[in-house]
C-alpha cells in the first residue's frame, strides 16, 4: 500500500451512521473512548431512517392524508416533498452535530474498505485515510434489490423509493413492482396524493404471511381507495418510450401490459457489503449476503461486530437499536444480552389505516399445535372504540389469537386507526406474560383506541 495521507487510531471504529452504530458511538464517546464513525455520504448522517426511510415516508403518509379532494395534486405534492426534505435536513444536521460535536467522537465522510482485521482505509489516492481500532462495528445497512428483468435496470423511469421521494413531480401513473410492506405503503401514499397506482405482485396474494381474512381486509381498503392490485404476475420486460414506459408481465399464461410515468421497484433490500473488502478482515458472509454473526452479533473475527440490516436480520430501525444494546453489553456490560432475548417484536405497515401485527397468526398458531381461541371484530362494529368515529376512520379490524388452555396471547393483527401504537401495548403484554383476560379488563382512557381491547377480547370464541 502506498503511504497514506493520514492515520487515525480509535478505541472504537463504526462503519455507517445507522441507528445501532451511532447509538454505540455516542455511548462509548460519553465514556471517554476515542470513537471514529465513517459514513460514505453526507446525505446519510443518521442512517436510513431519518433520511430516506421511516421519517420521510411517514411524513409523506401524513401529508397525503391531509390533502382534500379539491386540492391541486401536483402543487400539494410538491409542497409536501419540500416540507419533508426540510425535515430530513434538520434531522441529518442534528445527527451529525450530536456526534461530531462530542470531544471524543470524529465523523469521517467517505467510502471505507478493510485493509486487515484492525484497519480500514477511507477514500483513495492522496485523499486516503487509514483508521485503526481494536473494536470495529459494521453498520452499513441495506440497499434496494433491482431484479434482472429485461430493460428494468436501464430504464430511466424505474426508481427506488429513495429516488422517488426526492422528486417534486407527482407521477400521474405509478406502477409498483412488489406488493410487500414498502410497495403497499407507497401505493397508499401516492394514491392519496392523486396518482393512479397499480401494484404488481408475484405471489398469489398480498401480505402472504398474514391470515387471509386480515390480508383481504387490507386489500379491500386499498382497492376501495382506487389502487389496482394484480397478483400472480411475473414482470418480464420494461420498455422505455419517449415520454413514458410500458411494463410487460405474464399472468395466467397471458402476456399483458400497463403503462406508467414512473416505476417504483419495491422488490426488497439486501445487506450493503459491496466494496467493504470483508475478505481482507476475514469476515464471513452468509448465502443471503449478510454478515455472519452469532446471537451476540459477533462476526467470524474477534473484535468485529455487525449491527442492523447488514447482518441479515429483520430490517427495522428498532431492531438496529436493540442490536446496539447487545453490542454495548459485550463492550461494557456483562455480555449476556443476545438476539435470543427478543420476544414479541411488532411490525407495522403504514397504509391508511395502518396494519400492525405481532406474534403468531391464527394459521401459524394452529400449525404449531396450539389449541386456539380467536376474536375478530370489524372496527366499525366496536362500540367501545368511539375514537374511530371521532377521527372518521372506522375501516379495518382487530384480531387476537389466544391459547385456549393458558389464555396466553399468541398474536394479534390490528388494522385500525392508531394500530402502530396499540400494537406496542399488546407486544408488551406478550413479553411479560399478561393474559388476554387481564388485557381485556384493563382500565383505559376514554375516548381512546386502546379501550377497544375491553370489547374485542370479551368476544373470544
Binding residues for NAD(+): 178-185, 201, 268
3-state secondary structure (DSSP) of residue 415: strand
Q: Is residue 335 packed enough to be buried (19+ CB in 10 Å), middle (13-18) or exposed (0-12)?
A: exposed
**Could you confirm whether 63 is annotated as catalytic?**
no
Residue 441 grid cell: 379488563
C-alpha distances in angstroms, 161 versus 46, 85, 154, 166?
18, 14, 17, 9
Are the beta carbons of 17 and 24 closer than 8 angstroms?
A: no
The DSSP element (H or E) to which 23 belongs, if any, is helix 19-30
Instruction: Report the alpha-carbon distance of residue 426 to residue 431 in Å, rounded.
Output: 9
Of 63, 347, 370, 446, the active-site residue reads 446
Residue 388 grid cell: 374511530
3-state secondary structure (DSSP) of residue 371: coil
Cell 430501525 sits on residue:
317
Residue 127 CA, distance from chain mean position: 34
Are the beta carbons of 200 and 247 closer than 8 angstroms?
A: yes
Instruction: Report the alpha-carbon distance of residue 397 to residue 459 in Å, rounded.
Output: 14
Q: How far apart are the first and last CA of the chain?
A: 70
Instruction: Report the alpha-carbon distance of residue 136 to residue 10 in Å, rounded.
Output: 9
Binding-site sequence positions: 58, 140-142, 178-185, 201, 268, 309
* DSSP E strand boundaries for 252-389: 254-260, 262-265, 269-271, 304-306, 347-349, 355-359, 372-378
3-state secondary structure (DSSP) of residue 4: coil
Are the beta carbons of 290 and 310 closer than 8 angstroms?
A: yes
DSSP letter at 56 equals H
Are the beta carbons of 61 and 189 closer than 8 angstroms?
A: yes
Q: Is residue 435 packed enough to be buried (19+ CB in 10 Å), middle (13-18) or exposed (0-12)?
A: middle
Instruction: Report the alpha-carbon distance of residue 459 to residue 461 in Å, rounded.
Output: 6
Cell 443471503 sits on residue:
288
Cite the active site residues.
446
Amino acid at each position: 500500500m502506498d503511504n497514506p495521507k493520514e492515520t487515525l487510531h480509535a478505541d472504537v471504529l463504526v462503519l455507517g451512521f445507522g441507528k445501532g452504530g451511532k447509538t454505540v458511538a455516542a455511548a462509548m464517546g460519553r465514556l471517554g473512548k476515542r470513537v471514529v464513525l465513517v459514513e460514505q455520504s453526507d446525505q446519510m448522517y443518521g442512517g436510513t431512517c431519518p433520511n430516506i426511510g421511516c421519517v420521510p415516508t411517514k411524513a409523506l403518509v401524513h401529508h397525503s392524508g391531509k390533502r382534500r379532494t379539491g386540492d391541486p395534486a401536483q402543487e400539494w405534492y410538491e409542497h409536501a416533498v419540500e416540507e419533508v426534505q426540510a425535515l430530513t435536513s434538520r434531522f441529518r444536521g442534528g445527527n451529525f452535530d450530536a456526534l461530531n460535536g462530542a470531544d471524543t467522537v470524529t465523523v469521517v465522510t467517505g467510502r471505507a474498505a478493510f485493509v486487515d482485521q484492525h484497519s480500514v482505509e477511507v477514500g483513495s489516492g492522496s485523499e486516503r485515510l487509514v483508521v485503526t481500532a481494536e473494536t470495529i462495528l459494521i453498520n452499513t445497512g441495506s440497499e434496494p434489490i433491482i431484479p434482472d428483468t429485461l430493460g428494468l435496470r436501464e430504464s430511466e423511469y424505474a426508481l427506488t423509493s429513495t429516488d422517488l421521494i426526492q422528486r417534486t413531480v407527482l407521477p400521474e401513473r405509478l406502477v409498483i413492482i412488489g406488493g410487500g410492506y414498502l410497495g403497499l405503503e407507497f401505493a397508499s401514499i401516492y394514491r392519496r396524493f392523486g396518482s393512479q397506482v397499480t401494484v404488481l405482485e408475484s405471489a398469489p396474494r398480498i401480505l402472504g404471511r398474514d391470515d387471509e381474512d386480515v390480508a383481504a381486509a387490507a386489500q379491500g381498503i386499498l382497492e376501495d381507495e382506487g389502487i389496482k392490485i394484480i397478483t400472480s404476475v411475473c414482470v418480464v420486460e420494461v420498455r422505455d418510450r419517449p415520454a413514458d414506459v410500458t411494463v410487460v408481465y405474464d399472468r395466467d399464461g397471458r402476456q399483458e401490459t400497463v403503462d406508467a410515468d414512473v416505476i417504483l421497484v419495491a422488490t426488497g433490500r439486501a445487506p450493503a457489503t459491496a466494496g467493504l473488502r470483508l475478505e481482507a478482515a476475514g469476515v464471513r458472509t452468509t448465502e443471503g449476503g449478510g454478515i455472519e454473526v452469532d446471537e451476540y452479533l459477533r462476526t467470524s473475527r474477534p473484535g468485529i461486530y455487525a449491527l442492523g440490516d447488514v447482518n441479515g436480520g429483520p430490517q427495522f430501525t428498532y431492531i438496529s437499536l436493540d442490536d446496539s444494546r447487545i453490542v454495548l453489553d459485550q463492550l461494557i456490560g456483562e455480555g449476556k444480552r443476545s438476539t435470543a432475548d427478543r420476544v414479541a417484536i411488532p411490525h407495522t405497515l403504514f397504509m391508511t389505516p395502518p396494519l400492525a401485527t405481532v406474534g403468531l397468526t391464527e394459521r401459524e398458531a394452529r400449525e404449531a399445535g396450539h389449541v386456539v381461541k380467536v376474536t375478530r371484530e370489524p372496527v366499525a362494529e366496536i362500540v367501545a372504540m368511539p375514537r374511530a368515529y371521532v377521527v372518521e376512520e372506522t375501516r379495518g379490524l382487530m384480531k387476537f389469537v389466544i391459547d385456549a388452555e393458558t389464555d396466553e396471547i399468541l398474536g394479534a393483527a390490528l388494522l385500525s386507526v392508531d394500530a402502530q401504537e396499540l400494537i406496542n401495548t399488546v407486544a408488551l403484554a406478550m413479553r411479560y406474560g399478561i393474559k388476554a383476560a387481564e388485557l381485556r379488563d384493563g382500565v383505559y382512557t376514554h375516548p381512546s383506541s386502546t379501550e377497544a381491547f375491553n370489547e374485542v377480547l370479551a368476544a373470544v370464541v
